[in-house]
Amino acid sequence: MFRPLASLRVAATLLSLVPFAIPASCLAAQPRPAPAADHHQHLFSPGIIALLAPAPGPDALRELPAGELVGYLDAAGIRRAAVLSVAYMYGKPGRAVEDEYAKVKAENDWTAAQAAHYPDRLRALCGFNPLKDYALAELARCAAHPGLRHGIKMHFGNSDVQLDNPAHLARLKEVFRAANKHRMAIVVHMRASISLKRPYGQAQARAFLDHLMPLATDIVVQVAHLAGTGPGYDDPPANEVMRVLAEAAARKDPNTRQLWFDVASIATPGIAPAHAREMADRIRKVGVDRILYGSDAASPGNMTPGEAWAAFRALPLTGEEFDRIGRNVAPYLRR
């Protein structure tokens, strides 16, 4: 098997023996490999577009089918992607949706059908608001669905999940137990609602670690956006949550054994140097083996997978660290 890094090392050794050889700096400037997988993508169905009713314009959210996503992946040299269903949007508190659960099921099934067009490239994960009465029923239905059985996606901000609310925590425990029972990975947008100014900091991070992670003994739990929301990392509460989680991982807290993190949309071309350093510090504390590349939806106004990888590569990490992160593939994408 061809190994680009090994080949570059051999070339560098040979060239060092030749007078007037190409400078080593030219070798270092060679492009690095693309990531093996994008662990954070979304597709948007006609139903979701109708629900959100975006204002017309060049940056308006529009339907995004699987074929277009695969085109973006091809352009970036990325082989695989996790497609996280946005069915949880139907369950947003304060949003009146007729036949809500039927629409949640339809959105999850649409996402699975889109991914099924590219079974070797895309893998769909089931989405829902974990606080809804139908949450456990939908989890069980997805567990029995060949195209959705690999995992679930929860969005704490969109669903107004509050980790300091005992009733919310009790329901989340049921969801985590059920996901673990069915061996379904969990991808969680952990950031509490910004618009509603929900508390988000050390207490919420500890609640997540101490009450929920012990229930995920056999499955991956992937915290999206390094515990933030993106784009960018100018979010002090998220940085504080990520500090707690990263320090727990660094001291090998048993509750972090199954914990992974994706970096979707946190690095942007204009990121402030201080934020870039903070992200690099959090990544190193966690350990690069637990960091997953992701880019978020390739919708208007967002970066494509290739653009997001280029922005991420501008962080103050080493080439070796970038290569290791790029090679990481979560277990739910390998099966």
Neighbouring residues of 197: CB distance < 8 A, sequence distance ≥ 6? none
DSSP-assigned states of every residue in 213-277: GGG-SSS-EEEGGGGS-SSSS--HHHHHHHHHHHHHHHTT-GGGTTEEEE-TTT--TT--HHHHH
| Segment 264-289, tens digit of pLDDT | 999 999 899 999 999 999 999 999 99
Tokens describing residue 95: 């949003």
Tokens describing residue 288: 């690069």
pLDDT of 21 reads: 34
| Segment 313-328, tens digit of pLDDT | 999 999 999 999 999 9
The domains of the chain are located at 34-334
pLDDT confidence of 215, banded at 50, 70, 90? very high
Percentage of the chain exceeding pLDDT 90: 82
Selection from 313, 293, 234 nearest residue 36 by Cα = 293
Over residues 87-103, the mean pLDDT reads: 97
| Cα–Cα distances in angstroms (integers) from residue 46 to residues 96, 106, 110, 142, 304, in the given order | 18, 11, 10, 21, 21
pLDDT confidence of 200, banded at 50, 70, 90? very high
Beta bridge partners of 122: 81
Tokens describing residue 131: 């606080």
Rounded to 5°, angle at Cα 72 from 67 and 73: 95
pLDDT confidence of 32, banded at 50, 70, 90? low
* One CATH from 3.10.20.90, 2.60.120.10, 3.20.20.140, 3.40.50.720 for 34-334: 3.20.20.140
Q: Are 152 and 108 in contact (CB under 8 A)?
A: no
Q: Are 177 and 184 in contact (CB under 8 A)?
A: no
- 160 φ, ψ to 5°? 55, 45
Tokens describing residue 183: 């061996």
Has residue 222 got a pLDDT over 50?
A: yes
Neighbouring residues of 58: CB distance < 8 A, sequence distance ≥ 6? 300
Has residue 1 got a pLDDT over 60?
A: no
Question: How far does the chain reach from its first CA to its final CA, in angstroms?
Answer: 22
- 124 φ, ψ to 5°? -90, 145
The larger pLDDT score, comparing residue 14 to residue 78, is at 78
pLDDT of 20 reads: 31
pLDDT of 30 reads: 39
Has residue 12 got a pLDDT over 50?
A: no
Q: What is the pTM of this model?
A: 0.89
Q: Are 107 and 86 in contact (CB under 8 A)?
A: yes
Tally the C-alpha atoms within 13 A of residue 27's C-alpha that lie toward its C-beta: 17
| Segment 75-84, tens digit of pLDDT | 999 999 999 9
Q: Are 84 and 40 in contact (CB under 8 A)?
A: yes
